């Protein structure tokens, strides 16, 4: 199979839902019906419940809350709290990675797999590396990184990676993040009853909190994951529901933190476990991934990607999932009751994500090996409980090439020019392609699925449109999975591109949609944009580059949006961020912030128009550059 259409995916879902109904399975499709129409106040952002004099809901007859706060203050506070939730979540993930780095040992559960990257970061941070044992350096860097979360003075160390112009904009706008946790705390403090209600101040802190994520916590997560688990390089894999195997023990890893999934992957390859699987009548052990965990293990091990956010229930509905093993974030509590309709073990592992109807195996860096092994064993021993009558694995599977870290992109480009400018390569060939017009520009497609948008349709259709218009697409998160599952990450996908992009794909040997990783890895995109801008000698905001989250749903996505915009990249949303109740907040986000960061949001719910607007913006940037 070369491509898989959204219609084919939907038909498979229908079949799975029909089978689920027979065993009393609930589904998000059903729950959406129960929950709609949604509350209009919630959707407009005009309900305040941050003190118990409320909840206060703003209407023409009641234009102020009991404390006197107007609609702009209420919408702005809600937006800021939403951002803080996302920034805290990504950053706490990053913190866990730093703790894992602190646990690395030459003979331990976790090692340093990319010592050169560790040394490069150490040099960036002014840390001496000469004559130091790599594990001493890892522990020293882990401590410094953990200090980034709570240091009393100064600004994020990672900001120095941006072009000087961008750093100056951040400084002048007062949005340089200080300690990572501080920006979340400040956001919560500002939005407590009786504090800020001035739109400008709330929007400014929303950008700053977002910055503490993308140029703080997420960057710690990405960079130190690379140090421990290896910096992704292009690798072939497969995607969509058909990657589950009828004759094998299927273990699905789901969530975000690679500390867990890396260990599961390791023990699934353990000869003892494979022998055990064979004893149980299976041909072996098949690991596949859902959500951002899928992106992490696909990028580093070529583990197949079975589905994204709104596919997570489908995985269990196949009846062929022995265990769905989760860590944190984007995990449906529905998986508990759903797994009870099948033989599936729903295994939770983190104190951060405890859920009813799950088996909890507490996972930490110290006991990682032992626990991963017992999880794999539990799944393997569950194979015998599978009911073959209930197994239905849709025959949908396509090839994908993934693993385009910034380092990998540089390397690919370097192979073409053979310039070997320095050991790390250069972005210059990419800049030349854009300047000459062979490529019109690039779009970063990111974010989730949301039932408010036909799932995956917006991601896939927008990508096809961009590719046909010679716009290179870089992706992460569930958007990346949508692309992979549709077949847009295979090298053959160049056939659906415009002539220029097709040529570039042929020359460089890349697919037209580049998989840059999970959502924390959007920090990679910020580094990429910075490097391209530096190599092109322009500001990030001048690049023909746009960001887009057409199906976003989580607080994390809003935090991301804020740091992407704050980095100077115009960002297009296909779902309203609950600010339409305030003309002032909407105006700040869609226009006002441009004076601070040279970029702003566009919200467009019509996906066709959203694509047109993105391409128009790219062309406008080209005109302004005179290229
Ligand atoms: O962090 S794209 S649904 S899986 S929030 Fe979640 Fe959204 Fe998927 Fe990864 Ni990102
Ligand atoms: Fe109402 Fe003001 Fe309390 Fe919000 S803070 S619930 S607007 S009284």
Q: What confidence category does residue 68 fall into, taking pLDDT thresholds of 50, 70 and 90?
A: very high
Q: What is the pLDDT of residue 371?
A: 94
Q: Is 625 in the pocket of ligand 2 (CB under 6 A)?
A: no
Query: Is the per-residue pLDDT at 553 higher than 80?
Result: yes
In the numeric block, which tokens belong to residue 353?
A: 């994500």
CA pair distance 59, 54, nearest whole angstrom: 14
Nearest CA to ligand 2 atom 7: 65
Across-strand partners of 515?
Answer: 475
User: Is the residue at 545 inside a domain?
Assistant: yes
H or E, element range at 346: strand 345-348
Q: Are residues 425 and 376 in the same domain?
A: no
Contact in structure between 533 and 493 (CB atoms under 8 Å): no
- Name which of 253, 292, 370, 303 is nearest 89 in CA terms: 292
Query: Is the per-residue pLDDT at 46 higher than 70?
Result: yes
Q: Are residues 205 and 283 in the same domain?
A: no
CA pair distance 423, 411, nearest whole angstrom: 9
User: Is the residue at 236 inside a domain?
Assistant: no
Q: What is the pLDDT of residue 420?
A: 54
**234: phi then psi, degrees, rounded to nearest 5:** -55, 135
Nearest CA to ligand 2 atom 2: 67
**488: phi then psi, degrees, rounded to nearest 5:** -85, -5
Q: Are residues 471 and 584 in the same domain?
A: yes
Average pLDDT over residues 472-496: 97
The residue segments making up the domain with residue 354 are 241-390
**287: phi then psi, degrees, rounded to nearest 5:** -100, 135
In the numeric block, which tokens belong to residue 522?
A: 């959007």
Q: Is 438 in the pocket of ligand 2 (CB under 6 A)?
A: no
**245: phi then psi, degrees, rounded to nearest 5:** -115, 130
Across-strand partners of 545?
Answer: 442
Q: Are residues 150 and 216 in the same domain?
A: yes
Q: Are residues 459 and 576 in the same domain?
A: yes
Q: What confidence category does residue 419 fall into, taking pLDDT thresholds of 50, 70 and 90?
A: low
Q: What is the pLDDT of residue 423?
A: 60
Q: Are residues 300 and 409 in the same domain?
A: no
Q: What is the pLDDT of residue 31?
A: 98
Q: Are residues 248 and 225 in the same domain?
A: no
Mean model confidence pLDDT for the chain: 97
Q: Is 11 in the pocket of ligand 2 (CB under 6 A)?
A: no
Which DSSP category does 326 fall into?
E
Task: Report the Cα 561 to chain-centroid distance in Å.
Answer: 11
Q: Are residues 487 and 378 in the same domain?
A: no
Considering 229, 251, 271, which residue would you say is the last residue of a domain? 229
Task: Report the Cα 148 to chain-centroid distance in Å.
Answer: 22
User: Is the residue at 620 inside a domain?
Assistant: yes
CA pair distance 462, 395, nearest whole angstrom: 25
Q: Are residues 247 and 205 in the same domain?
A: no
**307: phi then psi, degrees, rounded to nearest 5:** -175, 165
Considering 339, 356, 390, which residue would you say is the last residue of a domain? 390
For the chain, percent of residues with pLDDT exceeding 90: 96
Average pLDDT over residues 46-70: 98
Q: Which ligand is nearest to the CA of 69?
A: 2
Maximum alpha-carbon separation in the chain: 71
Q: Are residues 517 and 494 in the same domain?
A: yes
Query: At a CB cut-off of 8 Å and minimum separation 6, what does 183 contact?
Result: 84, 87, 177, 205, 208, 209, 211, 212, 216
Answer yes or no: pTM beyond 0.85. Answer: yes
Q: Is 75 in the pocket of ligand 2 (CB under 6 A)?
A: no
CA pair distance 201, 205, nearest whole angstrom: 6
Q: What confidence category does residue 366 fall into, taking pLDDT thresholds of 50, 70 and 90?
A: confident
Considering 361, 390, 419, which residue would you say is the last residue of a domain? 390
CA of 13 to the centre of ligand 1 (A): 20
Q: Which of 315, 326, 330, 458 to mutate to test the pocket of ligand 1 (most atoms within 8 A of CB)?
A: 330
Query: Is the per-residue pLDDT at 421 higher than 60?
Result: no
Q: What confidence category does residue 431 fall into, taking pLDDT thresholds of 50, 70 and 90?
A: very high
Nearest CA to ligand 1 atom 6: 330
User: Is the residue at 218 inside a domain?
Assistant: yes
User: Is the residue at 2 inside a domain?
Assistant: no
Q: Which of 54, 57, 58, 68 to mutate to test the pocket of ligand 2 (most atoms within 8 A of CB)?
A: 54
Give the CATH number of the domain where residue 152 resides: 1.20.1270.30
**DSSP-H helix ranges across 60-133:** 71-102, 115-124
Q: Are residues 415 and 562 in the same domain?
A: yes
Cα-based distances in Å from 258 to 3, 162, 314, 328: 29, 26, 22, 10
Query: Is the per-residue pLDDT at 239 higher than 60?
Result: yes
User: Is the residue at 337 inside a domain?
Assistant: yes
Query: Is the per-residue pLDDT at 364 higher than 70?
Result: yes
Ligand 1 neighbours (beta carbon < 6 A): 256, 291-292, 308-309, 330, 447-448, 477-478, 518-519, 554, 556-557
Q: What confidence category does residue 415 fall into, taking pLDDT thresholds of 50, 70 and 90?
A: confident
Residue environment code for 558-596, b if the CB has 16+ CB neighbours within 10 A, otherwise e? bbbbbbbbbbbbbbbbbbebbbebbebbbbbbeebbbeb
Q: What confidence category does residue 330 fall into, taking pLDDT thresholds of 50, 70 and 90?
A: very high
CA of 205 to the centre of ligand 2 (A): 20
Q: What confidence category does residue 418 fall into, taking pLDDT thresholds of 50, 70 and 90?
A: low
User: Is the residue at 528 inside a domain?
Assistant: yes
Query: Is the per-residue pLDDT at 308 higher than 60?
Result: yes
In the numeric block, which tokens belong to residue 375?
A: 């999880």
Locate tokens 């403090």: which residue?
A: 189
Hey, which bits of 42-197 come out as E strands?
47-48, 56-57
Helix axes 522-536, 218-229, angle to 10 degrees: 100
Query: Is the per-residue pLDDT at 434 higher than 90?
Result: yes
Residue environment code for 477-497, b if the CB has 16+ CB neighbours within 10 A, otherwise e? bbbbbbbbbbbbbbbebbebb
Q: Which atom of ligand 1 lies nearest, measured to the CA of 291?
A: 4
Measured at the CA of 99, the angle between CA 140 and CA 380, to 5 degrees, comes to 135
Give the CATH number of the domain where residue 267 resides: 3.40.50.2030
CA pair distance 76, 83, nearest whole angstrom: 11
Helix axes 199-212, 71-102, angle to 10 degrees: 10
pLDDT in tens, 368-407: 999 999 999 999 999 999 999 999 999 999 999 999 999 9
In the numeric block, which tokens belong to residue 560?
A: 């991301």
**483: phi then psi, degrees, rounded to nearest 5:** -60, -45
The structural domain count of the chain equals 3
pLDDT in tens, 123-149: 999 999 999 999 999 999 999 999 999
Locate tokens 């070369």: which residue?
A: 2
User: Is the residue at 346 inside a domain?
Assistant: yes
Q: Are residues 617 and 469 in the same domain?
A: yes
């Amino acid at each position: 199979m070369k491509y898989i259409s959204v219609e084919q995916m939907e038909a498979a879902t229908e079949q799975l839902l029909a089978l689920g109904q027979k065993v009393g399975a609930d589904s998000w499709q059903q729950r959406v019906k129960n929950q709609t129409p949604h509350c209009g106040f919630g959707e407009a952002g005009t309900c305040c419940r941050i003190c118990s004099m409320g909840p206060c809901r703003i209407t023409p007859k009641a234009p102020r809350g009991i404390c006197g706060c107007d609609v702009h203050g209420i919408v702005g506070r809600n937006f800021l709290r939403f951002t803080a939730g996302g920034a805290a979540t990504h950053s706490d993930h990053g913190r866990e990675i730093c703790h894992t780095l602190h646990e690395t040992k030459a003979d331990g559960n976790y090692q340093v797999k990319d010592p050169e990257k560790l040394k490069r970061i150490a040099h960036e941070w002014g840390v001496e590396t000469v004559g130091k044992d790599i594990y001493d350096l890892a522990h020293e860097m882990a401590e410094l990184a953990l200090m980034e979360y709570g240091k009393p003075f100064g600004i994020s160390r990672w900001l120095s990676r941006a072009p000087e112009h961008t750093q100056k904009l951040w400084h002048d706008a007062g949005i340089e993040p200080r300690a990572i946790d501080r920006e979340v705390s400040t956001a919560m403090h500002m939005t407590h009853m009786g504090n800020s209600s001035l739109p400008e101040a709330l929007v400014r802190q929303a950008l700053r909190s977002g910055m503490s994520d993308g140029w703080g916590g997420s960057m710690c997560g990405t960079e130190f994951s690379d140090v421990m688990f290896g910096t992704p390089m292009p690798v072939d894999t497969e995607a969509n529901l058909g990657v589950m195997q009828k004759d094998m023990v299927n273990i699905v890893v789901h969530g975000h933190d690679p500390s867990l999934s890396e260990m599961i992957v390791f023990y699934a390859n353990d000869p003892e476990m494979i022998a055990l699987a064979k004893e149980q009548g299976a041909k072996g052990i098949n690991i596949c991934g859902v959500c951002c965990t899928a992106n992490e293990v696909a990028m580093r091990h070529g583990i197949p990607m079975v589905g994204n956010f709104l596919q997570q229930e489908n995985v269990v509905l196949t009846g062929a999932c022995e265990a769905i093993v989760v860590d944190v974030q984007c995990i449906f509590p529905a998986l508990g009751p759903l797994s009870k309709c099948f033989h599936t073990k729903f295994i939770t592992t983190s104190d951060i994500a405890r859920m009813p109807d799950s088996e909890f195996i507490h996972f930490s860096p110290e006991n990682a090996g032992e626990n991963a092994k017992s999880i794999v064993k539990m799944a393997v021993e569950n194979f015998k409980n599978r009911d073959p009558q209930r197994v239905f694995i849709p025959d949908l599977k396509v090839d994908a090439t993934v693993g385009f870290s910034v380092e990998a992109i540089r390397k690919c480009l370097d192979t073409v020019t053979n310039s070997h400018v320095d050991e790390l390569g250069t972005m210059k060939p990419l800049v030349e392609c854009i300047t000459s017009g062979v490529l019109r520009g690039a779009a970063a497609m990111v974010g989730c699925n949301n039932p408010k948008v036909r799932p995956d349709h917006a991601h896939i259709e927008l990508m096809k449109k961009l590719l046909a218009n010679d716009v290179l697409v870089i992706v992460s998160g569930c958007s990346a999975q949508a692309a992979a599952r549709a077949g847009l990450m295979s090298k053959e996908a160049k056939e659906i591109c415009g002539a220029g992009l097709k040529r570039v794909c042929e020359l460089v040997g890349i697919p037209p949609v580049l998989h840059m990783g999970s959502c924390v890895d959007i920090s990679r995109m910020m580094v990429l944009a910075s490097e391209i801008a530096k190599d092109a000698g322009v500001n990030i905001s001048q690049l023909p580059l746009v960001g887009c989250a057409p199906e976003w749903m989580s607080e994390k996505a809003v935090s991301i949006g804020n740091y992407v915009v704050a980095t100077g990249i115009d960002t297009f949303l296909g779902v309203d961020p609950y600010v339409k109740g305030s003309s002032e907040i909407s105006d700040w986000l869609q226009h006002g912030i441009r004076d601070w960061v040279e970029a702003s949001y566009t919200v467009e719910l019509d996906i066709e128009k959203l694509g047109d607007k993105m391409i128009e913006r790219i062309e406008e940037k080209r005109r302004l550059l005179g290229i």
